[in-house]
Amino acid sequence: MIRRISFPLRKGTYSRQAHADLPEQGIFEREISREGFYGPATHLHHKHPPTSWSAWSGNHRPRAYNLLKLSYSQISPWDAPLLLHNANCQIRFWRCNEKMQTLVRNADGDDLLFIHQGHGELFCDYGHLSIKQGDYVLIPRSCLWRLEPVEPITLLMIEATNDYYGLPDKTIVGQHAIFDQAVLDTPEIDAAYLQQQDEQPWQVVLKRFNALSIIGYPFNPLDVVGWHGDVSVVRINWQDIRPLMSHRFHLPPSAHSTFVTSRFVVCTFVPRPMETDPGALKVPFYHNNDDFDEVIFYHQGEFFSRDNIEPGMLTFHPCGFTHGPHPKAYRAGCKSQRKATDEVAVMIDTRDGLDIGSLMQDVEWHGYVESWKE
């Protein structure tokens, strides 16, 4: 497909290239984009940082939460706290401390698990798969599964409600960029899987329309002896992701897309070299992404665009206001104090607005909205 050449409007003092060579010292760029970072955009140049608000009232504001302070009494993923949700996406955080005694099945949509801590074994319709910290595990809709932790497994669960996950179109960089599909692992019908097949009674906890039903079997329904096809549980670890990089231009989050659905996208930020061109921005640019809500879960490392954010925390920036780096991070980026990032984080951008779960108020950092002040 050939894209038509266009000539954007230009007014006043502006840079010739977005995110680079700002027109004057002390000028701050803000991007206004449509359709996430995929559509039309305008770049405004401000005298002051666009996040330098002096006061904020009302419930619509940037938020941050420490998920590690949530209660961990749940024995089923369906009982795990609902963090954020809309009609197309449900985000939960779950700690599996012990071997699951029932199987679960989600009839509402695909589930994407991100393993934040721990490791263990996954048994499912497709076989046996060992999982560990840093893994994404994609579980197709209505797949039977259970976990056997070797050490307690803490995970982020992202449901694609009434939808399924696919891979982003990598266009001109080709389908082997970011990660080759050959690195995707699938379960095996191995000795461990066959050994767990027994003739004892088992229950399946089925979720449909967020209501639970229980199906009883006089045997273990994970009794598959083989399969063929192109639907399966798949796994990829963040260490298998090779990010797109540009030493002269700070790439938008969309360049780090890992999984996509029809109504939201999941991106992964992994360690990479910093931009080296003297005129290029070294931190995420100030932006209004007004067609999407933005959620970031922080897995490990030092989060170079934020202050006082630790692993296990989650930030939520609903659409409708400018967000971007904290002042200290922005100044450090301007001085090129860092040569590489070491952060690992999961970003979820949703096309539809997210509601906040009732338990989140107990683990919220209420001063987060003030953290952009000098």
User: Measured at the alpha carbon of residue 135, what is the angle toward residues 133 and 140, in degrees to the nearest 5?
Assistant: 140
pLDDT, average across residues 354-373: 94
Q: Quick one: DSSP state of residue 4?
A: P
Residue among 294, 289, 287 nearest 325 (CA): 287
pLDDT score of 183 more than 90: yes
Among 238, 256, 289, the domain boundary falls at 238
Q: Is residue 6 domain-resident?
A: no
Residue 4 lies in a domain: no
Q: Find out whether 116 is annotated in a ligand binding site.
A: no
Given a cut of 90, is residue 14 above it in pLDDT? Answer: no
Instruction: Tell me which of 213, 238, 263 is where a domain ends.
Output: 238
Query: Is it the case that residue 346 has pLDDT exceeding 80?
Result: yes
Select the more confidently predicted residue: 360 or 20.
360
Residue 307 has pLDDT above 90, yes or no: no
Domain ranges, residue 253: 28-54+242-365
Considering the domain architecture, whether residues 230 and 114 belong to the same structural domain is answered as yes
Smallest CA-to-CA distance from 33 within 46, 48, 12, 18 is with 18
Output the pLDDT for position 302: 85
Residues 6+ apart with CB under 8 A from 16: none
The overall average pLDDT reported for the chain is 92
Is the pLDDT at 216 greater than 70, yes or no?
yes
255 has pLDDT over 90? no
- For residues 219 and 253, state if they share a domain: no
When pLDDT is cut at 50, 70 and 90, the band that residue 317 belongs to is very high
Residues 78 and 159 in one domain: yes
Give the contacts of 251 (CB within 8 A, at least 6 positions apart): 244, 245
In a domain, 3, yes or no: no
Same domain, 45 and 141: no
Give the CATH number of the domain where residue 217 resides.
Answer: 2.60.120.10
Burial code of 305-344, b = ≥16 C-beta within 10 A, e = fewer?
Answer: bbeebebbbbbbbbbeebbbbbeebbebbeeeebeebebb
* Residues 225 and 260 placed together within one structural domain of the fold: no
The answer to whether residue 2 is domain-embedded is no
Residue 230 shares a structural domain with residue 315: no
* Among candidate residues 216, 238, 260, the one where a domain is terminated: 238
Kindly state whether residues 143 and 156 are assigned to the same domain: yes
Q: Which amino acid is located at 24 in the chain?
A: E
Query: Phi and psi of 328, rounded to 5°?
Result: -60, -40
The kind and range of the H/E element at 331 are helix 327-334
Same domain as 249, residue 203:
no
Q: Say if CB 129 and CB 227 are below 8 A apart.
A: no
Residue 19 labeled ligand binder: no
The pTM (predicted TM-score) of the whole model is 0.94
Please tell me whether residue 231 adopts helix, strand or coil conformation. coil
Q: Is the pLDDT of residue 1 over 70?
A: no
Q: Please tell me the predicted confidence (pLDDT) of residue 315.
A: 96
Please report whether residue 260 resides in a domain. yes
In the structure, what pLDDT confidence band is assigned to residue 308 with cuts at 50, 70 and 90? confident
Average pLDDT over residues 244-248: 87
Tell me, what's the pLDDT at 170?
Answer: 84
pLDDT at residue number 66 = 97
- pLDDT score of 142: 98
Same domain as 202, residue 78: yes
* Backbone phi and psi for residue 100, each to the nearest 5 degrees, phi listed first: -70, 130
Q: What confidence tens digit (pLDDT) does each residue in 271-292 have?
A: 999 888 888 887 788 888 789 9
Residue 13 placed within a domain: no
Length of the chain measured in residues? 374
- The tokens 């060579």 sit on which residue? 21
For 123-128, what is the mean pLDDT? 98
Residues 224 and 309 in one domain: no
Distance CA(112)–CA(296), nearest Å, equals 15
Task: Tell me, yes or no, whether 116 lies in a domain.
Answer: yes
The full DSSP string for 337-367 is --SB---EEEEEEESSPPEEPGGGGGGB-TT
- Angle 331-332-335 from CA coordinates, rounded to 5°: 90
Q: Are both 91 and 174 inside the same structural domain?
A: yes
Shared domain check, 232 and 90: yes
Q: pLDDT (tens digit, 9 = 90+) per residue, 169-181? A: 887 788 888 999 9
**Cα(362)–Cα(359) distance, integer angstroms:** 6
- Residue 129: band (very low, low, confident or very high) from pLDDT cuts 50, 70, 90: very high
Positions annotated as catalytic residues are: 250
What is the tally of structural domains in the chain? 2
168 lies in a domain?
yes
DSSP state for residue 59 in the 8-state scheme = S
Q: Which of 100-103's residues contact partners 24+ apart within 8 Å by CB, and which partners? A: 100/75, 100/76, 100/146, 100/147, 100/148, 101/75, 102/76, 102/146, 102/202, 102/203, 102/204, 102/205, 103/144, 103/145, 103/146, 103/202, 103/203, 103/204, 103/205, 103/221, 103/222
CA 78 to chain centre: 20
The answer to whether the annotation marks 180 as part of a ligand binding site is no
